[in-house]
Each structure stands twice: as C-alpha cells, then as structure tokens.
Amino acid sequence: MSKDYYKILGVDKNASQDEIRKAFQKMAHQYHPDKQGGDEVKFKEANEAYQVLGNEQKRKQYDQFGADFEQQGGFGGGMGWEDFMRAARSGGFENGNFSFNFGGNDFGDMFGDIFGFSSRGGQGRGGRGRGRDIEVDVELDFKEAAFGVEKELNLRKKTTCDVCNGSGAEPGSKMEKCSSCGGHGQVVQNQRTIFGTIQQAVVCSDCHGQGQKPSSKCKHCGGDGVITKNNTFQVKIPAGINDGESIRLSGYGEAAAYNGMSGDLYVRIHIKKNKYFSRDGYEIFTDYEINFSQAVMGDKVEIETLDGMEKIVIPAGIESGQLIRLKGKGIPYLRQKGRGDHYIKIKIKVPKNISRDLKKKLEELKNDL
C-alpha cells in the first residue's frame, strides 16, 4: 500500500513548503528516539516523508506516482541517520538532488540540545553545571504585605569559595591547559545506536568544561570552587504582594562547582490572618457591627484602616450587609501606582434579651418601624 506522506506529517496536499518544514520540525522534536517518550518508528516515517515532500521535484514525482515513485527512476535511496546528524551539525542537508538549509531558525540547535552540539558553534545543554534552586518560605503580617517590607534571610547553602573565587586553584598556583580536551572544555565520544555510530560532544571530565586545570587545587574548597556556609542577605518584598506568590532572585540559589551558573532563590510569601481585614485582590473588607438605633438613626463611628483610625458616616436607614466604600484605602497595586478600595460591611446587632420597658416601647413603635 502506498504511504500517505501528507498524512504522516499532518499537512494538507496543498500545504506550502514552509508548512511542511514546520510540521516536520515539530514531529522530529516530539518523536526523537533519544528523547524521553520518543518514537523511533514515527521519527523515521517523518524523516522519510520530509525527504520527499520537502523537495519540489520529488514532491511532484510523488504526487504523480505515489510512494513507489523511486522505482520509476526518480532518485536514489533516502538519507541515513549519520547523514541527518551531519547535516544538523553543519546547519543544512545535501543529499543528491535534495538540499535544505536550517538557516537562521533554531532547528539545528534543537538537535544540539539533545546531543550536546550546536549549529551556531556554541555549547548545548551539555555545558557547565548549574547550581540547585532554593525555595524558602517567608511569613508577613497583613500590613507588611500591603506596604512592602525588607526581610533578612539566613541560609546555609553552597556558595563560591572566597579563597579561590570559584577557580578551584590554590592561591599562587597556575592554571594549565587541560591535556584531555586540549583546552576546549569538551571531548568527542562515539556512541553506537540503532542508527549507527553517533559522535557526541560531552563536557571534559578532567577540567569540567573549563579547558584548564590548576597546578595545585585549593585546599579550602578541595578544588571544586564551592563551599557550604551560612549566608545572610536582605530581600525586598514589594508592596501589594499576595499570599502564595513567590519572588525570584536570580543567582541567589546554590553556587555550582567549577565556575558553573548559580541557581535561583524563590521566596514564597505567606500572609498571616488579620482579625480586622480580609483581602480579595487589591480590595480590603472589614465587618463592622452597629446596633439597631444606629442603623435607624445613622451615626459617626471610628474604624481601623491600613492608614490608621478613620471616622466614617453610617447613613440613617442602612441595611445589614450593605457596604460602605473607602476609595483608595485598599492594597497598593503591585508594581504600579494607586491602591484598591476598602469596603466596610455593616452588620446590625439584634439584642436577644431586652427589658420589659424596652419591649413595651418596641411594641408601641412596631407599626411605625
């Protein structure tokens, strides 16, 4: 049965070359055999389909004769895996009448990320290590979260050695070119796979990607450039931050050995409950209880706000559950000017036990109320 290359790539028969190329890139990234969850069969099918549909001449022959058009004398065999990997390293394909250039897109780098090389000449993910990220919890009271605060953190973590400054070299010793990698920081290894032998660039295990080694290792850190010690520093909590949100401090995580990149520190915020205020986004809500006469006659009362005590007017005839709005008295907006509002929710207290005289007066006023 003839293979439907359009169906394999999931494109229409009138698809443009750009659409075909993008469809192949997506499948190649998804089904690459060396990736977790990859699928060797689907990857090879996608590669076979793209070799045909990605070339105008072969595509015309395929549209005319079907997948068996090679037997009509159209062209020779398909591209092998080693040819494919060589093309990815160089940035393009050349195979008989078929050619494709990766150009300025990231497709070559996609395979570089997987196999440790880069079509741009840089190093892929197989480069120097990265320190561990750290997450800490910080508890704030309601007003600290509203207006911002500076907190001191004490962490015990891996940090750059303060004797060798992360180089791993004993002070006064020389740095020498690594003989294992010739100063490149990487070595090439041959790996046998079902597709053949693959050359893979990996970090040199002797110099750990630095390309040079100290003639004498630092006695303070043992030569890896990091030590574990207590660190104290200040963290600024911005005004308006909410419960459960995190602040990311780039490079404040654990230091990486051999001059690698430090990890990040994530400060997760927890806000203590407040007996006066509750929060919904940038709005504040306060329950305020008044008696029956205040609800009927109205009154002036003093309530607590984020800015201190403030007098408000209780209008006559107010109903239980009604809100009084204090504009601009809520939570400051995070990273922008202005504040939300403060809402006072009125609750009318109904007495449970009343005197005989008061009960008599209420009976007299029943029809008027």
Q: Flag the least confident range among 166-170, 303-307, 359-363.
A: 359-363
pLDDT for residue 367 = 65
For residue 218, is pLDDT > 50? yes
> What is the arithmetic mean of pLDDT over 79-108?
44
Instruction: Give the pLDDT band (50/70/90) at residue 72.
Output: very low
Q: What are the pLDDT digits (tens) for 341-369?
A: 999 999 999 877 778 887 777 777 666 65
For residue 109, is pLDDT > 80? no
CATH T-level topology, domain 5-115: Helix Hairpins (1.10.287)
The token pair that represents 207 in the structure block = 């110099």
pLDDT for residue 347 = 95
Query: Which is more confidently placed, 100 or 4?
Result: 4
Percent of the chain scored above 70 by pLDDT? Answer: 79
For residue 324, is pLDDT > 80? yes
> What is the arithmetic mean of pLDDT over 262-289?
95
pLDDT for residue 38 = 78
Lookup result for tokens 């300025």 = 104
Q: What value does the CA radius of gyration of the chain take, rounded to a whole number of Å?
A: 35
Residue 197: which residues within 8 A CB-CB, separation 6 or more?
Answer: 82, 190, 191
Q: What are the pLDDT digits (tens) for 170-212?
A: 998 988 999 989 988 888 888 776 666 777 888 888 888 888 8
Beta bridge partners of 303: 310
The token pair that represents 328 in the structure block = 């601009």
pLDDT for residue 86 = 47
CB 250 within 8 A of CB 256: no
For residue 22, is pLDDT > 80? yes
Give the end-to-end CA distance of the chain in Å, rounded to a whole number.
Answer: 90
**Burial class, 288, CB count within 10 angstroms (exposed 0-12 / middle 13-18 / buried 19+):** middle
The token pair that represents 20 in the structure block = 């075909």
Query: Which is more confidently placed, 93 or 26?
Result: 26
pLDDT for residue 82 = 46
Entry pTM: 0.58
For residue 322, is pLDDT > 90? yes
- Examine domains 127-170+219-272 and 278-365 and report if their fold is the same: yes
- Check residue 64 and give left, alpha or beta (phi > 0: left; psi -120 to 50: alpha): alpha
- At CA 190, angle to CA 187 and CA 194, rounded to 5? 150
> What is the arithmetic mean of pLDDT over 239-250?
93
What gap in Å lies between CA 279 and CA 296, rounded to an integer? 29
Query: Which is more confidently placed, 224 or 128?
Result: 224
Label the pairing between strands 283-291 and 342-349: parallel
The domain spans of the chain are 5-115, 127-170+219-272, 174-215, 278-365
The token pair that represents 273 in the structure block = 């409950």
Query: Which is more confidently placed, 264 or 362?
Result: 264
For residue 139, is pLDDT > 70? yes
What gap in Å lies between CA 312 and CA 240, rounded to an integer? 25
Give the DSSP H/E element, type plus range, for residue 29: helix 17-31
Q: Sheet harboring 283-291: ordered strands across? A: 278-280, 283-291, 342-349, 323-326
CB 205 within 8 A of CB 129: no
DSSP state of 5: H
The answer regarding whether domain 278-365 maps to CATH 1.10.8.60 reads: no
pLDDT for residue 189 = 83
CB 269 within 8 A of CB 148: no
Closest CA to 291 of 323, 320, 312: 320
Which one of 2.60.40.10, 2.130.10.30, 2.60.260.20, 3.40.50.300 gives the CATH number of domain 127-170+219-272?
Answer: 2.60.260.20
Q: What are the pLDDT digits (tens) for 46-63?
A: 888 888 898 888 888 888
> What is the arithmetic mean of pLDDT over 32-58?
82
For residue 14, is pLDDT > 80? yes
- At CA 65, angle to CA 61 and CA 66, rounded to 5? 95
What gap in Å lies between CA 207 and CA 170, rounded to an integer? 15
pLDDT for residue 64 = 75
* Residue 73 CB neighbours (<10 A): 7
Give the mean pLDDT of the chain. 81
Helix pair angle (107-115, 17-31), 10° resolution: 10
